[in-house]
């Protein structure tokens, strides 16, 4: 058992906040990408989850 809570998305679940470590961990796990790749895609298409998923082909 771990002392760390499970990572979770932002309250609205529609945007990726790269400044929040929990969100960063959640989205890298959920989208199966590295932190660096996630940051690149968000910089390119913006923080909307659907746009990021589309850019990643997921």
Question: Domain-by-domain residue ranges, the chain?
Answer: 21-56
Least confident of 5-9, 16-20, 40-44, 54-58: 5-9
Report the distance separating Cα 54 and Cα 39, nearest Å: 15
Q: What is the pTM of this model?
A: 0.79
Q: In this predicted model, which residue has the larger pLDDT, 50 or 8? A: 50
The pLDDT value recorded for residue 26 is: 92
> Average pLDDT of the chain?
87
The average pLDDT across 7-11 equals 61
38, 24, 11, 20: which is closest to 56 by C-alpha? 38
The pLDDT value recorded for residue 11 is: 57
């Amino acid at each position: 058992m771990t002392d760390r809570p499970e990572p979770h998305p932002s309250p609205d679940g529609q945007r990726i906040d790269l400044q929040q470590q929990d969100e960063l961990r959640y989205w890298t796990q959920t989208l199966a990408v590295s932190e660096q790749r996630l940051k690149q895609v968000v910089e390119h298409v913006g923080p909307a989850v659907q746009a990021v998923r589309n850019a990643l082909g997921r």
